Amino acid sequence: IRESDCIFCLACENVCPTHAIKITQM
């Protein structure tokens, strides 16, 4: 799984590093 695929993903906490989770307003 690429980090770029997890940027706006709410369910990536289990598969991606914390720094890859960027939940921001679009």
Mind listing the pLDDT tens digit for each residue in 3-17? 565 555 555 556 656
| Mean pLDDT across 15-23 | 58
For residue 24, is pLDDT > 60?
no
21, 6 contact by CB (below 8 A): yes
Q: Can you tell me the distance from the alpha carbon of 1 to that of 25, in angstroms, rounded to the nearest whole number?
A: 23
Helix, strand or coil, per DSSP, at residue 3:
helix
Q: What is the pLDDT, as a whole number, of residue 5?
A: 57
For residue 8, give both structure tokens: 């706006």
Residue of 4 and 1 predicted with greater confidence: 4
Residue 1: is its pLDDT beyond 60?
A: no
Report yes or no on whether pTM surpasses 0.75: no
- Our count of domains for the chain comes to 1
Domain with 14 in it: 1-26
Assigned token pair, 26: 């679009």
